[in-house]
Amino acid sequence: MSGSRSTTPSDLRGEGAFRDDGKHTMYGIDLRWQIGRNAPDQGAWPPPEDWNEGNAPYPHIYEVWIDDEVRQTVFLYWPAWDWTPSNSHWVDLGEDPDAVHSVKIRAKVDGQYTAFSNEVTVDLKRAAEWSGPERPRDGLGRLDAAPRHGTMNHPRSRAAAAIRDQDPASICAEARRQNTSTTWQEVLPGAERMLADYPWNYANKYLEYRKFFENGTVASTGNPAFRGLDLAPNASLGEWPLTELDTSAATQTFTYDYTAYHTNETWSHRWFITRPGWDPANGLGWHDLEPIPFLVEIQGSHHEAESSAWEFASFPRRTGRAAIVHIWGGHGGPDTPDGGNGGKTGEFFASTCDVMLR
């Protein structure tokens, strides 16, 4: 066990909250804690005494334990002007969570985990509407409108297999035939849909993605240009190319193939896995996914290599056929017609990875 007073989280606080996501109401837990001199109620001013223009010696990796089980690994990064993301985190719980949860966290320091924080009990029957955190008064954040593109590399996404790698599997060949786009790094809902219903909630600073996934169109994000990615395996088409994952291993390492990488405090990665018993022959809908993402990254590192591979120990310990769905999104995308919503609609890129858990 590693850590010191400055790197071991303490004074953990948790509140149940909900967010609107189109017609969906998404519940979660708003966590805040003490790390170093950054208090859970630090506020927007002054900065913590040890902030050092964003170079404070705070951990970047945490585990979130819910009801005595590790459910999520979080990679936290932050801009030099905002200390709020260094000691706070939103834990997605989906649309129909249990009413009460116990939560504790621990940080990873020098390759080892610290002691756990105190444990808090969160009662979602008292959940309040989410409001974005107050930003520091001297915040210098600027919208980075540079393009972002990419897809999951390991485990390999359907877009990578069928389009990027031109995999000869029958289902990949049929997907290519049905798709009207060959841009494997841009599996997203499309400008028309994002302009009609913005993915980025500018007022409260979060990404709305659930509303774009209806029926069995998760792999394509409902974008007809990628409808071939929604194909379900069958006797004629065969199976999607599978990545084998050894769930008895102590850790997993996932990688991402960027064709354009930029960091911004609004952007995040989230990884979800299908529920036990999912049958790929029935297609893939959002209701097939576990509601809590097992891996999350906030903002991303200023060094691309650090945000291209993630080693973590929160992957579910089970076997059998599964799919992993990854969402990378934030405040970017098409310009809004009137300059509203901070000038951009928001956007996200989706990857669906077919895996066999051993």
CATH code, domain with 36: 2.60.40.10
The pLDDT assigned to 44 comes to 85
Structure tokens at 68: 């005595």
Backbone angles phi, psi at 78, to 5 degrees: -155, 155
* 3 assigned to some structural domain: no
Asked if 290 and 323 touch (Cβ cutoff 8 Å), the reply is no
Same domain (yes/no): 175, 324: yes
Q: How far apart are CA 119 and CA 102, in angstroms?
A: 7
Q: Is residue 45 part of a domain?
A: yes
Task: With respect to residue 140, please indicate whether it lies within any of the assigned structural domains.
Answer: no
Number of domains in the chain: 2
Per-residue confidence (pLDDT) for residue 138, from 0 to 100: 47
Q: Give the neighbor-by-neighbor strand order of the sheet with 252-260.
A: 149-154, 252-260, 309-312
Q: Which of 78, 97, 128 is the last residue of a domain?
A: 128
Co-location of 58 and 187 in the same domain:
no
Domain that holds residue 87: 10-128
Residue 333 in any domain: the answer is yes
Q: Confirm whether 261 is domain-assigned.
A: yes
pLDDT at 140: 44
Chain position carrying tokens 């030099």:
80
Q: How buried is residue 319: exposed, middle or buried, by Cβ count under 10 Å (0-12/13-18/19+)?
A: middle
* Per-residue model confidence (pLDDT) at position 263: 82
The predicted pLDDT at position 144 comes to 57
Per-residue pLDDT 10s for the chain (358 aa) are: 555 667 999 999 999 999 999 999 999 999 999 999 999 999 889 999 999 999 999 999 999 999 999 999 999 999 999 999 999 999 999 999 999 999 999 999 999 999 999 999 999 999 999 988 777 754 445 555 555 689 999 999 999 999 999 999 999 999 999 999 999 999 999 999 999 999 999 999 999 999 999 899 999 999 999 999 999 999 999 999 999 999 999 999 999 999 988 788 999 999 999 999 999 999 999 999 999 999 999 999 989 999 999 999 999 999 999 999 999 999 999 999 999 999 999 999 999 999 999 9
The CATH number of the domain holding residue 240 is 2.70.50.50
Question: Does residue 97 fall inside a structural domain?
Answer: yes
Q: With contact defined as beta carbons under 8 Å apart, do 163 and 199 qualify?
A: no
Does 90 share its domain with 187?
no
User: Cα(179)–Cα(229) distance, rounded to whole angstroms?
Assistant: 8
Residues 99 and 173 both lie in one domain: no
Number of H-type helices and E-type strands within the chain: 3, 19
pLDDT at 169: 98
The predicted structure's pLDDT at residue 172? 98
Sorted by sequence, the CB contacts under 8 Å of residue 127 that are 6+ apart come out as 15, 16, 17, 18, 27
pLDDT at 91: 98
pLDDT of amino acid 6: 75
Is there a domain that residue 141 lies in?
Answer: no
Structure tokens at 16: 């149940």
235 phi and psi angles, rounded to 5 deg: -65, -30
Residues 83 and 212 in one domain: no
What SS3 class is residue 56? coil
Shared domain check, 345 and 202: yes
Residue 138 inside a domain? The answer is no
